[in-house]
Structure 1
Amino acid sequence: MIIASTLWLASCGVTPTAPQVSVVPEVLAAPLPAAMDDMLTAELSRELSHYDNAPLPSPRVTTKSRWVPVRWAELPGLGQDPLFEAWNAWIKSCERPGPVFAPLCSQVRRLSIATPEEQRVWLLTRLQPYRIESLAGPETGQLTSYFEPLIKASRQRAPGFEVPLYRPPAGLAARKPWYTRQEIETLPEARAALQGREIAWLADPIDALLLHIQGSGRISITAADGSERVTRLAFAGSNEQPYRSVNQWLISQGVTRVNPWPEATKAWAAQNPQRVQQLLWSNPRYIFFQEETLTPLDSAFGPRGAQGVALTPGRSIAVDPSSIPYGTPVWLASRGPAANLQRLVFAQDTGSAIVGAVRADYFAGTGDQAGLFAARMNQPLRLWALWPK
């Protein structure tokens, strides 16, 4: 699902012993004071009355969604989002823009040093918001979240590190099914095809499964001199088998506590060691990786998404590209127990479980804090595509 940044070099990067990792920005802050909120509302109302008064265009229809043109006033939280935080994600999109957004990229780059007010006025002037609905009518969908794990690993198989992570086998073909997860671990011919393809070894099979589910991650390896070397493992292919939710399998077995992932799953595995293989094999999909260097600049961003650009924590989402084209700026609104989100994000990735018109997976960042956020996130969603006028 996610691959690597265009800035990476050819060798493994060295980071401090306590590596800096990006995490999801704080999104559970208290509401603005009433006076400040009133001031923002009044200022925004003046802007909207001046810039958003032209006749609305016709609706647009994609393969899986209908886009209904609306006034900017429909977008919740428009005056409260610190847009400058989103601009890094937009500049990343401009590394590989589609034909619709490429003409705007020179202005996007210049506006990276503009004030939030100037950025907002530019949005009002150049873009038209469309409420995204399914073809059947509903405008509310589902928001989940994913992240980039950071896991301790060993370069060689050793006591305590016996779970391999593999490069793709020779002859792996896209869209052509290969061995299932169970077959990879049990059939001699599958094991022979992966002999010598090991990148690193992990201590816990649940951590390996976590990397497979997220599609990429970072591993931390202790060097001979005691320093920690952190490198990224990016998505390099899959066995093209269907994805099956491990949480759903656990629920079908009568397990009531499945989050936070993976801690709850590790607790269940510790209590049921004889059933761990059954748990792992419930998801036949298997991911292969390629190693990517992490430079200091890369560390602030996630792996590369399906658009081909590095993901920005808290500002990149995975979507169904049949509903929302890659690179599209999107206004996202979601309220629930995990967070209250009203912000500008960018469609820069996809995933096998991200299907439908109003469906998004929110990139939370890297490390444990981002993982806890992602495990909690499953709540209603509304989306507005921002399209050039």
Structure 2
Amino acid sequence: MKHNILFLIAILLFFGCSKKPEAPICDVPKPEVEKLSKPEFTPSKFDELPNWHEENYLEALNSFLESCKTTKTKALYEELCKSGKDVADAKSFFMQNFTPYKIDATDAKDDGLLTGYYEPLLKGSLTKKEPYLYPVYSTPRDLIVVSLASQYPELQNYRLRGRYDGNNKVVPYYSRKELSSRTLDADIVCYVDSRIELFFLEVQGSGRVLLDNGEVIYVGFDNLNGYKYSSIGKYLIDAGEISYAQASMKGIKNWCDKNPSRVDELLNHNESVVFFKKRNKPATGALGVVLTPERSVAVDQRYLPLGSMLYMSAQTKEKDLNRIVMAQDIGGAIKGSVRADLFFGYGDEAGNSAGKLKAPLKLWIFLPKAEL
């Protein structure tokens, strides 16, 4: 029998309204919160988790303890974050202290989906010169971020973005197409040599830039222009330009190489633009902790709380992906209760793995037995 346990409901109500801003600011008298059906949770057993007995329990425990450094993971697992520091048998720690619950899709037609992301390496310069012509912008000074929480508490984790139009009105910020023809009033982190690679840096949310002086800098998400994310891969599929199987990062780049005159058309389909800032450490997710390759996932926090421990199961042609992961990030393209984006790490090999991953997914959430 399926249960909606009060504890789980409380958690999801507390964390479930968070949303990475995606819609441009609009002039409405009273904002309405998107009504979402919460996923149900089916009690499960560890023996029912695919390949559970082949898990690297110590590695999973270390990933859990790293996430315990954040306030959101502590809020979910406070006592276990403490006791987990002194564990002799990692497998027993999980089985004695947690209960796995199968996460059911809110849409009966949804089979779940696992994709991948990574930290790319771009080539750049601190000064604009050939071939480094494409600026990596920080947040523009005329970008306005509006919070309505004081008037509408239910919108506490929502943000609207826009700009003044000069007539004392706030209007949507510039779209990608509009920004391409403007010089922004914003600091420039650096310049890179490829607008395609820069676009995919936006998709990944963070990366590294190898400068022409030999220095490597970290760049990470800073802000958005406020438009909804639209998939350029789906755009090419719908236009009959590529097949579903070709809609990987590599496949899209190949299409761009063959159709240079249509690159603007393709990129402008996604009106959303990400702004960056220089960071002093590698990829850090929305939870605020450095991501762990193949142990960190991005989720839709409207359904699943950041900081939670999950067990995922997905099968690909190369291997099965069955393991404990931590929900440490979010993303504009991550939609649904049984939806995750697995972080693969840094570099070309990680990019190849992430770019081709697209597999049906099953998810479980681990919650403390004492809380049930």
TM-score range normalised by the length of the shorter chain:
0.7 to 0.9
Distance 1:369 1:272 in 2: 26
| Percent identical residues | 32
Give yes or no for contact 1:260–1:375 (8 Å, CA) kept in 2. no
* Alpha-carbon displacement from aligned partner over 1:259-283 (angstroms, at most 9, x marks no partner): 4754433332232222121122111
Please say if 1:107 is aligned against 2:83. Answer: yes
Amino acid at match of 2:359: Q
* Alpha-carbon displacement from aligned partner over 1:51-108 (angstroms, at most 9, x marks no partner): xxxxx99543555211111122111111101122223321221111242212211222
Amino acid at match of 1:339: K
- More off after superposition, 60-69 vs 365-374: 60-69
Q: Which runs of 5+ in 2 are unaligned?
A: 13-36, 146-158, 163-172
Aligned pairs, how many?
A: 313
Give yes or no for contact 2:311–2:366 (8 Å, CA) kept in 1. yes
Aligned partner of 1:179 in structure 2 is 174
Report SS of the residue matched to 1:159: coil
Amino acid at match of 1:181: R
Give yes or no for contact 1:206–1:262 (8 Å, CA) kept in 2. no
Please say if 1:230 is aligned against 2:230. Answer: no
Distance 1:135 1:164 in 2: 41
* Alpha-carbon displacement from aligned partner over 1:124-176 (angstroms, at most 9, x marks no partner): 11101101102455784111111111111111101111011001011422421
Please say if 1:246 is aligned against 2:232. Answer: yes
Structural mapping, 1:142-161, within 5 Å: 142-161=113-132
Give yes or no for contact 1:218–1:230 (8 Å, CA) kept in 2. yes
1:193 corresponds to which of 159, 162, 185: 185
Give yes or no for contact 1:93–1:327 (8 Å, CA) kept in 2. yes
Aligned partner of 2:304 in structure 1 is 324
Report SS of the residue matched to 1:110: coil
Distance 2:107 2:215 in 1: 50
Give yes or no for contact 2:234–2:247 (8 Å, CA) kept in 1. no
Please say if 1:208 is aligned against 2:184. Answer: no
Report SS of the residue matched to 2:117: strand
What TM-score comes out, normalization by structure 2 length? 0.79
Distance 2:229 2:117 in 1: 15
Structural mapping, 1:60-99, within 5 Å: 60=5, 61=9, 62=12, 64-96=38-70, 97-99=73-75
Q: Which runs of 5+ in 1 are unaligned?
A: 1-55, 295-301
Aligned partner of 2:112 in structure 1 is 141
Deviation at 1:235, TM superposition (A): 0.3
Distance 1:383 1:138 in 2: 16
Distance 2:333 2:302 in 1: 13
Distance 1:126 1:87 in 2: 12
